[in-house]
Amino acid sequence: MAELYGQRVQTTVQTKYLPFVVDTILNSNVLFQRVVRGSKKWSGRTLRVPVKVSKNTTGTSFSGFDTFSVAATANRQFMEFTPSFYQITCALPGDECSVADTDEKILDLMKVTIQSDTEDMADDLGTIFYADGTGNSSKDPLGLAALVDDGTNVANIGGLSRSTYTTLKSTVTASSGTLTLAKVDTLWIAVTSGAQKPTAIYTTEAVFNYYGQLLRPQERITKDVGTIKGLSGGTGFTALYYNGKPILMDEKATAEAFIMVNEDYVDFYALPYKFAKPVAYKSQIEGNDYEAPIGLGFSWSDWIIPANSGSVVGHVYFGGQFITTNPKRHGKLTGITGI
């Protein structure tokens, strides 16, 4: 960058650094933030979810001395989930830390490094939360591709076969290229029973715009929505609405998909890492939708001084599992490329 002034100015006027970092890399991460900010605490070796998978069929009308069935009905199974862990490394050379800790420092180098790296990890996890959990030899946490599936791509959920227990199937409909309100209506009806209905719809920017084009101008009402299940505070996300439920565009969302989720049946159970402490800081980074990562899942190892290096190293950990307790209440349209 060329100097704008000569030596007369350069030798008499200091350079001013603003006390924050502007992020020009990270983009939206809507699903991850909504889910993680509503984390529940993990407990136990595994998480078991009892599910009813069939009806008791012994009911019958009768008269007089008719005999009744005395057969017991086994109509419950359990889905079982285990936790997954993810980490990102923070590292700094000791000489840079020494120079950065003088009276002239503008930002705390060590703190802003943790902040930046934690947000990068959250960005990675945002991508994973739309995947199927098979990444890195199935060490990744589960994502919507596993939770919202009819068995075509993810045969089992919580250790149970979707082909055996068909009520664990979500509704997945190939949209054959086009998005129409009729297809959206059909999907909605398929995953709705009485008061049980989707609470949010996730999609890409492109499909969000396709949906907007289907609406009459007076219907194109956008609102800001909160983070999850009525929780207040945090970043709001702009949404269009369908049947009173927000349609949220997320740059992490699965390409060409329109995903209806009943958030009453999805949760992140967080498990803090044993040898670390909770992440807690006020972020000095601006220009993205990430606030300081909060929730039970984030842990910080603290800085570690290696025995053979003049440096410091630390690890941010994230633990737990993204689960669904009722897959049939979710659904998606796939293959949307226009209207």
Structure tokens at 258: 């329109």
- Helix residue spans in the chain (DSSP H): 7-10, 30-36, 94-100, 109-128, 135-138, 144-147, 181-191, 205-214
* Mean pLDDT value across residues 208-234: 61
pLDDT in tens, 126-165: 999 999 999 999 999 999 999 999 999 999 999 999 999 9
pLDDT in tens, 17-65: 666 677 666 678 889 888 888 889 999 999 999 999 999 999 999 999 9
pLDDT-derived band at 236 (thresholds 50, 70, 90) equals low
Counting DSSP H helices and E strands in the chain, the numbers are 8, 19
> Distance (Å, rounded) from C-alpha 110 to C-alpha 91?
9
Instruction: Report the pLDDT value the prediction gives residue 235, as an integer from 0 to 100.
Output: 43
Instruction: Report the pLDDT value the prediction gives residue 92, as an integer from 0 to 100.
Output: 94
Burial of residue 224 (CB within 10 Å: 0-12, 13-18, 19+) is exposed
CB 126 within 8 Å of CB 120: no
Nearest to 125 by CA among 91, 85, 90, 157: 85
Nearest to 37 by CA among 252, 215, 290: 290
Amino acid at 119: E
Instruction: Report the pLDDT value the prediction gives residue 257, as an integer from 0 to 100.
Output: 98
Instruction: For residue 39, give Cα distances in angstroms to 34, 163, 295.
Output: 9, 30, 6
User: Is it the case that residue 14 has pLDDT exceeding 80?
Assistant: no
| Better pLDDT: 334 or 37 | 334
Instruction: Report the pLDDT value the prediction gives residue 232, as an integer from 0 to 100.
Output: 31
**Whole-structure pTM value:** 0.87
> Distance (Å, rounded) from C-alpha 145 to C-alpha 253?
10
CB 335 within 8 Å of CB 175: yes
Which residue do the tokens 């930046």 mark?
Answer: 116
> Distance (Å, rounded) from C-alpha 258 to C-alpha 128?
17
Instruction: Report the pLDDT value the prediction gives residue 24, as an integer from 0 to 100.
Output: 63
Query: Residue 94 contacts by C-beta under 8 Å, 6 or more apart in sequence?
Result: 310, 311, 312
